[in-house]
Structure 1
Amino acid sequence: MDKKKRATVFWFSMLVVLGSLMGCSYPQVLAEPYDPNGKSLNSAYSESDPHVGGRYLVFASDRGFSQDIYLYDLVDRRLIDLPGLNSLDMIASHPDISVDGRYIVFSGNRQGETDIYLYDRSLRQLRNLTGNLNTQVQNPMLNADGSRIVFEANAKGQWDIFVYNRQGERIE
């Protein structure tokens, strides 16, 4: 199966699951228009790593000439601008979002170094949580209110789970 067909099947399946998660009594498909320019949920670009938090869907996409993080409002059915989050010098992946949609966590790779970043939508502030952690990190996730960030870190030659708070402090 080619890449576009797999993406179409994936998004169709994802939308059916989303309909179920949003309290519907039977699966429904979101009828989003296709936009070849990437200004809607469905596009000609490669989307990956979708996660739902409340009314929001966060995902990574290679729209705009780099792999960035995008936020889609499932109720208003529109993309939401994320000022200060995406940059041309970073490859972003594996996003997650708090239930209220305020906090977005993701892996960001700059010049071959991957760190875990937290974006506060209210303050429009991006924070590198693991800049002082000299090890490989991956797969961040948020708890419901965004106060705890968990991720995998290869600090001792094996992958372990680390828990941080929003300030970038490790919680034992």
Structure 2
Amino acid sequence: MAIVLAGSLASCSSSGRLLNFPLDLAGRGLNSPASELTPHLGAEYIVFVSDRRGSQDVYLYDLTQRRLIDLPGLNSLDAIASHPVVSEDGQTIVFAAIREGRSGIYLYNRETRQLRNLTENLPAEVRHPTISADGSKIAFESSQNGHWNIVVCDPSGRTLNLPSSIFN
């Protein structure tokens, strides 16, 4: 499966341009013979999930340098990753994962190479994270109250109480 981005990276227009990244049989590029899933574009980066190493892992591709970026400490054999997103500067990656039968929202900091479970103490299923452009807010869905609600937190996992005026 190939990842193809439609539109210009700087702006989208109706004419747009199609960016096609070639297949790399060795798995060192953006597209490989494996399944490439749920891509997310963050300025000069694409984050996605792939099973190219036999497990569902998160990958980060630098569009400027046209290469995969090493993410030490991010992927593990005991997790099934999904729905990754990346901050605009490419330094913070947030994704959903299932570990030991429990869903969680994880934050990876490329500078410190640290992985944190933001929902470790949340007694609920969680899914579909997203991150603000500057990396200061993370939103995701939570089933804590018996139905799906949106939770917003900071990178430490502390829930933010947003003023209702931002929704008006």
Do the two structures share a fold, i.e. TM-score over 0.5? yes
Q: 2:9 aligns with which of 18, 21, 45?
A: 21
Matches within 5 A, 1:8-157: 8=2, 11=3, 14-17=4-7, 20-23=8-11, 26-157=15-146
**TM-score when scaled to structure 2?**
0.89
Structure 2: where are the runs of 5+ without partners? 162-168
Equivalent positions of 1:152-163 (< 5 A) are: 152-163=141-152
Unmatched segments (≥5 aa) in structure 1: 1-6
Q: How many residues align?
A: 160
SS of corresponding position for 2:82: strand
Work out the CA distance in 1 between the residues paired with 2:121 and 2:85: 22
Residue identity (%): 53
The corresponding residue for 2:154 is: 165
Q: If the length of structure 1 is used for normalisation, what is the TM-score?
A: 0.87
Distance 1:24 1:38 in 2: 29
Q: Which residue of 2 aligns with 1:3?
A: none
Distance 1:30 1:49 in 2: 17
Question: In the superposition, relative to structure 1, how do residues 158 and 31 fare at CA in structure 2: closer, same or farther (>3 Å)?
Answer: closer
RMSD of aligned Cα (Å): 1.6
User: CA deviation digits over 1:100-140, x for unaligned, max 9?
Assistant: 11100000111211100000001111010001001000000
Shift of 1:16: 2.4
Q: Deviation string for 1:46-93 (max 9, x for gaps)? A: 111111111000001111110000000111111111011001111111
